[in-house]
Amino acid sequence: MSIINDGEYKLTAKLGNVKIVLQLLKAVNFKEYATFCVSANGMKITVEEAKCMQASAYIPVQLFEEFILTEDVIFRICLDSLIETLSMLGYRLYTPDNPILLHILYKRVGYPVGILIERNGIVVDCSLKSYDPDEILDFDLDPEAVVNKVLLQSELLKDIFAELDNSSIYLELLLSPKSPYFMISTKGTIGECHIELPHNTELIETFQCKKESKSKYLLKHMGRAMKAVPFSNKVSLRTNEAGILCFQYMIKTDNDVNCFIEYYVSPVINDDDDDD
């Protein structure tokens, strides 16, 4: 299958591996719609909720087999439908010698996004309606503003995420230059739980803590932000003075390209009910 690009399309992209794309999309799929920003570096898919949580998945240009972009484009499409389309040919059966190919085509504003997936000669052709993009919030966590930074292997977080107490509304994250260093706490109807993480094992690559910070986040938000833990390799946690937390996951693909997922979570402030 080949696509003739007669200059009509602003974007023509071809991917040999649907599985990784699906994984990335599903990890940010907490809202129905997503904004796609395509630039020469690759594709960035952003999902936002109520200006207090944002998730972005990055597909670098190296992952594409073919990537022709005449000018930077930005559009919004229904993420649910896209995921449904990509799952149509059964991505779980994916093997390196029996791949599912993906083509993405986009003409210009007002035109639908064309999605073609192919496997063993079976072609699924889909057109997804494109919408005008929303403004994307810039959480702006520049390196100088970062107070605390932890870089760790995802393995360490895997079990913690699975065992979090769902009856709790909030999750408290404590980072401190002195003991207990790194602690996650929940407080639910059926008890309190404090999880102390080590700060100096081989699973922690960097632990930079300038001063103690203690912030409360909605457990719902944290649950989403930890969705990428199971299939990622490394994760970095950064917080700024205001308590905005950024998770950045690094995901290694089969052909040694690194994909990234980023989550920004804003803290819960002035919560008097729980400070008894």
Partner 1 sequence: MKCVVSGGNIKILARAIQMLSKIGEEMFVQPQEDSLSFRSVNGSNSSFADITFHENYFSYYAYEDLDESDSLKCKILIRSALTVFKIPSLINKQIETCHIQLDANSTNLCFILKYKNNIIKTHLLPILDCETIRANYKKEGTVNHLCIQPRVLNDVVQNFQQNLLEITIEVLKDKILLRNYIDETSNLSNETRTQLVFGMGEFDEYKINSNTTITFCLKELRAILHFAEILAQPIHIHFDCAGRPIVFICKTLGVESNLVLATLNPDDDLGSQSTTHTRPNSVLKNSAKKPTKAKGKIKSLSKTVFGKLANKYPTNTNTEKIESSDKISNASETSSPNNNNKFNATNSPRVNSAKVIASNSNTNKRENDNSSKQNAFSSLLKRKSNQEIHSPDGGDKDDLVQNSPPKQPSKKAKLIFKKCFQTTFNPESLPGYNNIEVEDSGESD
Residue number with CB closer to partner 1 (127 or 166)? 166
146-153 and 234-240 beta bridge pairing: antiparallel
Q: How far is the CB of 201 from partner 1 (least distance, A)?
A: 5
Among 65, 132, 163, 212, binds partner 1 (CB under 8 A): 163
Contact call for residue 203 and partner 1 (CB under 8 A): yes
Contact call for residue 156 and partner 1 (CB under 8 A): yes
Q: What is the C-alpha to C-alpha distance for residues 125 and 131, in angstroms, rounded to an integer?
A: 19
Residue number with CB closer to partner 1 (48 or 172)? 172
Instruction: Count residues binding partner 1 (CB under 8 A).
Output: 18
Contact call for residue 51 and partner 1 (CB under 8 A): no
Q: What is the C-alpha to C-alpha distance for residues 58 and 270, in angstroms, rounded to an integer?
A: 34
Cα torsion angle, 248, 155, 216, 197, sign: negative
Residue number with CB closer to partner 1 (193 or 257)? 193
Cα torsion angle, 194, 163, 234, 57, sign: negative
Contact call for residue 173 and partner 1 (CB under 8 A): no
- What angle separates helix 79-86 from helix 18-27, to the nearest 10 degrees? 150
The piece of 68-76, 95-103, 105-113, 155-163 that touches partner 1 (CB under 8 A) is: 155-163
Q: How far is the CB of 187 from partner 1 (least distance, A)?
A: 9
Do residues 95 and 62 lie in contact, with contact meaning Cβ atoms separated by under 8 Å? no
Residue number with CB closer to partner 1 (194 or 214)? 194
Q: State which amino acid sits at residue 115.
A: I
Contact call for residue 165 and partner 1 (CB under 8 A): yes
134-170 core/surface letters (b: 16 or more CB in 10 A; e: else): eeeeebebeeeebbbbbbbbbeebeeebeebbeebbb
Helix (H, G, I), strand (E, B) or coil at 21: helix
Contact call for residue 205 and partner 1 (CB under 8 A): no
Q: Name residues contacting partner 1, limited to 180-199 (CB under 8 A).
A: 190-198
CA-wise closest residue to 189 among 172, 167, 163: 167
Among 41, 72, 160, 177, binds partner 1 (CB under 8 A): 160
Q: How far is the CB of 169 from partner 1 (least distance, A)?
A: 15
Q: Which residues bind partner 1 (CB under 8 A)?
A: 155-156, 159-160, 162-163, 165, 190-198, 201, 203
